[in-house]
Chains A and B, each alone.
Chain A
Amino acid sequence: MIVRWLFSALLISALGACTTVPGISSHFDEDTGLTVVALQEPVVLARAVPRLATAARDYVYLGPVRINRMGSIESYIWVGAASTLDRAAAGEAPPLAAGLVLLLDGVPMQLVLEDWQDQIAPPYRVSAPLYATRRARVATDQIARIAAAGSIQVYLTSDAGATAAYAPWHGSYGSWAQLAQDGAGAPRRTARAR
């Protein structure tokens, strides 16, 4: 009986719920049947807009995500847009953007953003209040390039081509290499690893 219970528990933990290996979290979404693999923490970037308070800023959270849809694997960069500013008083909208541009050691990588699917829970927890979540589909090679870059500058771009620069606030891109290695064909450290 105990052996059966332990086996069941092991099976459940392997197939569903939240499972983790160091630096990586894997979540099986029962509603959608997707397995979402992400890192433990996103990279945080900030943009000073001292219009309302010295402490108020716009934030962008970036994190790599891999979604396994019945064996079909797609890679994304999850983009969480947050702000502690009170823009409504000024009649303005927050700096949502159509695109994300990363300057990797001076070489631009242009990414097109789309809405994060609402039915999938955001893969990262953040501190500041999110007002939008986006994603950019990428190749694992792009994640690997980001992880290996010595310097990274981040810009949100509008359809009109205007850019808003964000400065590093917290976190590093080095850990992104873990997902890039997985996506590039290395043994996947997901739920199956447990």
Chain B
Amino acid sequence: MSPRSVQLGIGLILAGTMGRGIGAAERVVDEVSVSKRRGVATAEVALGCGMRYQGHRSVNDGAELAVELRFTPSCSQLLQGVYSELYIPRGRDLGTLRDVEFTSTDPGRGWLIFRFRYPAVFDVTQGANSGGLSVRIRPAGPREDQPQAGVDRSPLRLNPAAAVAAPGLFVVQLAAYREGRPNLDSLAAATNATLYETDFSVDGEQWTALRAGFFASEDAARGLLESFPPDAFPDAFVAAAASRERDQAAPLEPAGEPAMAGGSKLHPGEPSMDPERIDELMVEAEAALRDQRYGRSIQIFERVLQEPGAGHRRRARELLGVARQRNGQSAHAQAEYQAYLTEFPQGADADRVRQRLASLAAVDVIDAAPPRQVGTSGNNSSWDFFGGLAQYYRRDVNRPLAEQRSIVTQSALWSLGEFGFARRGQRFDVAGRLSGAYDYDLLQQGQARQGAGSASYAYLDVTDQELAVTARVGRQTRYRGGILGRFDGAHVSYDWREDIVFNFALGMPVDAPRYAPSTRRVFYGGSVDWNDVADAWDFSVFAQWQQVDGIADREALGAEIAYRHERWNLVGTADVDVSYGVLNSALLIGNWRISDRMTLHGRWDLQAYPFLTTRNALIGQQVTTVETLLLSYTQGQVRRLARDRTAQASNAVVGLSAALSERWQVSADINYSEFAATVASGGVAAIPASKGQLFLATSFIGSSIFKAGDTTIFTVRHNATRSSDTSTVIFDLRYPLSRGLRLSPRLALSYRDTVTGGRQWVASPNLRAIYRWRRSHRVELELGGHWSSTQQPIDTVLFLYGSDTREESSGYFLNVGYWMDFG
């Protein structure tokens, strides 16, 4: 058995361990499932190939989460050029999650963008396995600008009709405050000015500005400002004012109340306003509520409620609660609704207020989606259905040598389908997902033509909110708690406390979706997660036992530790096989955001390669099961074979990303890796140590260089290994041709110099076109080719004399298809 075939075997086993690669019709984001316990939602992301978590940032005021990922080598080979896809997660309502988008514009790295309906705060963790990560979504706390039912959360747009500062209109802004209006006694002298307040929201906080106006010149306004003692209003300044501000200013009396017509001292029970004035104020307050000037509407409703009489009080009390609710003052809103029900317990309006109160009591910020309006659509079901359908045709044609004919190496139609559902109940949440594919090989003729089906997911998920228990049964994927990926079985988690979760799992590992459930390998295990320790630490420990054909396959103990800080974070994991006494994986990842323009990241890992299980004994053998191997070897010998096939690999990466200007950014990585030798045994040759391998990559990433919205990437790579040095130059472009159409041309030129004196040039042009509409439909066409010229020196080729040999090969591929999501 040659070292090369052993390496191939290792590769196959790794492919099985890592799950499927990214085919043209497959997806980077394999699955995002959201579950929620005790107010904290967790999104588990299963990735189609290995990616290492680098860091994350909350953007758009917490409405988006951007998770940076760096590809493992296997992923880098599969994901080249500019790439993006959209994923609509199952159970997304639990975390108010709209969708998840994966984008990759930089070589070797990508971003997972989580978009939420409402702002939240996030914790992102990843264990030793690079095939997945989890995002915990917690309430961001009350937000004054949080939208309510019916409020459009579309991106901000200018309202051209908005009032603008009127020429020659100035005011003095005396103070701005979130609560506690300053003493107005010192303003008694300002008899020639109108005192008024304006409300506005800044970064989620409600502010009120106390102003005095209006003046025809800045000098006049400054005159008023200078008439106050210097320390009376230290933050005061003269400001230009809008004409609408003058029209809508409600003058304050020195006591701070809105000045009312005929306003005198108020006495409870005695009307101080005539009904017409009350009606006017109600109109103004409701207009302020509609305009989202909640502070002003609250102020007027409170004033109106000082007036006796059921007619206006009924409506004012309810709308005061609404205004406070929309202003983010949940406790005040609840108090107002309760006061309403005390004062007006009967009637249809009371039922509506009870519904408002109930929804307010039940809803926390993370779950603040508007309550379903029973009866409004004729459908009061809380079932949520989703799915998707995709088909791709792939054709590969290769010409191994210039003088040979072209060979069609692949011609296949890939069909993928997915269906899922989720239902939220008072106590139980139920969800399910079925995801499968069918590959139809068109190369074979007639009856020999055949296809192959596969199932990526087939599970049922039940959550008991009362017991805080969640169970998932069926084919599923998980990457935490020592579980290595896809399996058929059950996973149960129990939230003992808000910060401590117990997990139990039992199942049969599945190498790839095409495999049926098999009892040859069985595992069981458990883990304990302790999160948010001192608001900075997460801990997890696990134990797992796995058998293959009746003997121990893996007996693992491990731990994961994560620490996060505003500008940096650290993640460390360890996985030890106690039966072999081998450190299967030790990993340390760090990210440091030096500034908004510069990020430094590093990673060090020490891993058994491939991941040590007794099944590694099959590498290089003619048999395909451990059971068969046990006919020739004892259990101890089989385990020895497994140990001999497993190398120790170490890898270290240091990288830097920095913005050079508004349009250009540079990214540079240095990667050093080393593989230890394996031992010859069982008829399988040893693999020598790799010595140090160095990978250098630098990318210049431009935005809006040729056209607004485009992305341009120049990349230079150099790989130095024991057998060769390879230098590569890559040009990538994503060009927005129209609103929905994107063209992505790519050209890679590579030069390889081997230790035997050989030289190879490879050119790989590629063009990808994607047309999207309605965000959930996509049509894709990709054409690519490669030409290579290899020159070998004469002393390495037998029977040829006189000159070096030159071989040329070429090939092209076509990939065309569509993708549709629904639900």
Contacts and interface: CB of A to CB of B under 8 A. Distances in A.
Contact of A114 (B101, B162, B221, B667): B162
Contacts of B106: 53-54
Contacts of A74: 167
Q: Which 9 pairs from chain A and chain B are nearest by CB?
A: A86-B709, A84-B703, A137-B165, A55-B665, A158-B156, A114-B164, A141-B238, A53-B105, A84-B704
B219 to A, nearest CB: 9
A112 B165 contact: yes
Given A141-B239, A163-B61, A165-B203, A115 B165 contact: no
A13 to B, nearest CB: 30
Contact of B662 (A88, A111, A128): A128
A33 interface: no
Contact of B57 (A48, A75, A96): A48
A153 to B, nearest CB: 8
Given A55-B665, A107-B176, A127-B663, A159 B159 contact: yes
A149 to B, nearest CB: 11
Chain A: interface residue count, which band? 35 or more
B775 A91 contact: yes
Interface in A156-178: 156-165, 167, 169
Interface stretch (A2-10, A23-31, A97-105): A97-105
Given A53-B703, A94-B155, A98-B156, 13 more contacts: A44-B662, A84-B708, A86-B734, A108-B176, A139-B239, A159-B162, A160-B153, A161-B145, A162-B147, A163-B204, A164-B60, A167-B596, A169-B596
Contact of A108 (B61, B111, B209, B702): B209
A138 B239 CA distance: 6
A51 B113 contact: yes
B560 interface: no
Interface of A: 44, 46-57, 59, 74-75, 82-99, 101, 103, 107-115, 127-129, 131-132, 134, 136-142, 145, 153, 155-165, 167, 169
Contacts of A54: 68, 105-106, 109, 111, 657, 665, 667, 701
Most B CB contacts (10 A, CB to CB) among A83, A86, A88, A136 go to A86
B218 A140 contact: yes
Chain B: interface residue count, which band? 35 or more
Interface stretch (B577-585, B736-744, B813-821): B736-744
B42 to A, nearest CB: 22
Given A86-B736, A90-B775, A141-B238, A52 B711 contact: yes
B203 A155 contact: yes
Contacts of A128: 662-663, 704
B202 A103 contact: yes
A50 B662 contact: no
Given A86-B736, A114-B162, A157-B200, A96 B596 contact: no
A141 B155 contact: no
A89 B736 contact: yes
Contact of B240 (A96, A139, A164): A139
B159 A98 contact: yes
A137 B203 contact: no
A43 B202 CA distance: 21
Contact of B663 (A84, A134, A160): A84
Contacts of A87: 709
A136 B701 CA distance: 34
B66 A108 contact: no
A51 B663 CA distance: 15
A44 B218 CA distance: 28
Contacts of B153: 160, 162
B55 to A, nearest CB: 11
Contacts of A90: 101, 775
A48 B772 contact: no
Contacts of B239: 109, 138-139, 141-142
Contact of B105 (A47, A52, A136, A164): A52
